[in-house]
Structure 1
Amino acid sequence: MAAVSNALEVAVQEFERYLRAERAVSPHTLRAYLGDLNDLCGYAAEVGVAEPGALNVSLLRAWLARQHALGRSRATLARRTAAVRAFTGHLRRRGLLQADPGLLLGTPKRHRDLPGVLTQDDAARLLDELDVEGPLGLRDLAVLEVLYGTGVRVSELCGLDIDDLDTDRRTVRVLGKGGRERTVPIGEPAARAAQDWLRAGRPAISNEESGAALFLGVRGGRLHPTSARRIVHARIAEVGQVPDLSPHGLRHSAATHLLEGGADLRSVQEILGHASLQTTQLYTHVSAERLKQVHRQAHPRGVQDA
């Protein structure tokens, strides 16, 4: 932890311990929240505020207004507002604030771009034409098949252990955000690719550093999300004629194809591990846009003549 100079910074450090011990937030969220709150501390010091009890809605709004003036995106402003609300709520519960000023903050609406997705034909081409020669070829096919076949996040994929895969029941046990565990169905192609990797690929790479990790890097340690992203981009480029996507793009594709195939929104929410149905509803817009595109291309009156 960085050195502190006032009581407000001490409160931020205590809040960090609370997030780690009781909220079990992801490392990414923890890092982002602490960066936001340290920035707030810097602004508060500039205007002469050094005590948690001196935080008020005017100061918080002025800080957020500065962020907006600096050109921060709506997504960043929304996250910073969420970080402040969590912090001031914690201070109020500890008795360091008489009232919670975070409750008076509005939340900037985030602009949600429609995610890029593969068509079902593109997904089939990618997975059917992949070069699977050698241990790394078997691993890479299994990585892509499991990402697309289950819709798991890349961090969740890399966190899988061998025992998390149940090929008999065709399920995989996933540890998601906030330490929430869920069981996700896995299709036959993905299960078969994972079995081939375990049988003929993993033994050739594993060593004393491998532990129970399902997917391994070239040196035998647990596969890192950065390496998994690199694998996805490289393998898509090798196949060609398939739009470049990240692992998150494969997750988007899996969700969209589930909805196109008739899956209900609640089931997709469970599979993806979304805490809120509102997040899953984004994919209904994706499907609607694709349906409109099909209509424009296929219906004789889908596009009016100029």
Structure 2
Amino acid sequence: MSLSSSVAQPAAGPGARRSSSGLLQAWLPKLVLAPSIAISLFFVYGFMLWTFILSLTSSRMLPSYEFVGFAQYARLMANDRWWVASTNLVVFGGLFVAICLVLGLLLAILLDQRIRQEGALRTLYLYPMALSFIVTGVVWKWLLNPGLGIQAMVRGWGFENFRFDWIIDPDMAVYTLVIAAVWQASGFVMALFLAGLRGIDDSILKAAQLDGASLPRIYWRVVIPCLRPVVFSAVMILSHIAIKSFDLVVALTNGGPGYASDLPATFMYAHAFTRAQIGLGSASAMLMLGGVLAILIPYLYSELRSRRHG
């Protein structure tokens, strides 16, 4: 028997065990997250890619992979209903974002004064955000119904000439969407601003007060500029809500009267599912995605740039 075969092999030392344990700890989070990442890639980004492919085809009731280039986008640009929906989105989105920012900031400043019953008021303002847009749409549809809502109530008080029939007025119906959406989202914006206000160093405010600045001037010159990241976040979230708004429109106006209060999301649904125009609906969906990216990319660029220079 040779000498080499008679010598016992050394057991694995603590260094090898630490190495295998470290390798397991390094790979375990990746293994746990891998299924979720794979599902997200397939069901989110995979379907985005599939929607883009369908927008380049002649698909109608069922998917068809006959390539037609950007013909569906040309049809979309020539569709009057699409332009009505796009115009409504500009009006609805602009007013929705602006009013929510102003109202949310004012409510946050009010609560930041350490008033009594702050917790109850904060809960009251935040409560609408706990509801779905379907519930909000149905409730505001009742309130705005001329025969049984606000108009009927005020006329019952003796004001016979009072009119508030926007929901059946083609020129005013889109503003009813603004009312309902602001009612639901302004409390959420208030919470964002309130968190930002509570994060500002009190020494900055005290220094401004020692310099003789009035309270409105302090908020305008000092506090609001410090809330710039919160404003950007709120604008991004609200704009995303506005672009993809569907359930609120369906529950409140159903796009009517006619299609006077249509938004791109309801246009996409109407053409892709109820009128068997999958290609045209996919093209509108891609333009909606482009609108979201047009808001998201500058925001992310601004955030990354500020961190790089910070």
TM (norm. structure 2) is 0.25
More helix by share: 2
Which of the pair has more CA radius of gyration?
Answer: 2
* Structure of higher RCO (CA pairs closer than 8 Å, 6+ residues apart): 2
TM-score, structure 1 length as denominator?
Answer: 0.25
